[in-house]
Amino acid sequence: MATLHMPHPPERLTVLAAFITQAFWVLSAGIVLMYGFFVLLGAIAPGDVGAVSAAVVALLVLAAARSWAAAHRASRERDPRLVRARERRGF
């Protein structure tokens, strides 16, 4: 049976994908902060703009899931010997 060898994506596409991902999260944070600012200012009521409120909640859930996944991934990548040594020193 033959194996299908897929070429690696060019470095340029990988860099572009990372840039687009980071830009999305920066824009998402800006949208959430602007929404919170205008709600605290009293310019908008969350009940009056239900669709925007739902979108902001969805962005917050996505950001929380991303943070959890990053923390979970980082905890698996730690060397247990280094963790043990750090705990032994009291850090």
pLDDT at 29: 96
Please give the average per-residue pLDDT across 3-8, as a whole number: 70
pTM: 0.67
Per residue in 53-91, pLDDT (tens digit) is 999 999 999 999 999 998 887 777 777 787 777 777 665
Token pair 């902001």 in the structure block, residue: 56
Torsion of CA 27, 29, 30, 33, to 10 degrees: 160
How far apart are alpha carbons 18 and 70 in whole angstroms? 15
Q: Check: CB of residue 25 under 8 Å from CB of residue 63.
A: yes
DSSP line for 25-53:
HHHHHHHHHHHHHHHHHTSS-TTTTHHHH
Task: Give the chain's mean pLDDT.
Answer: 86
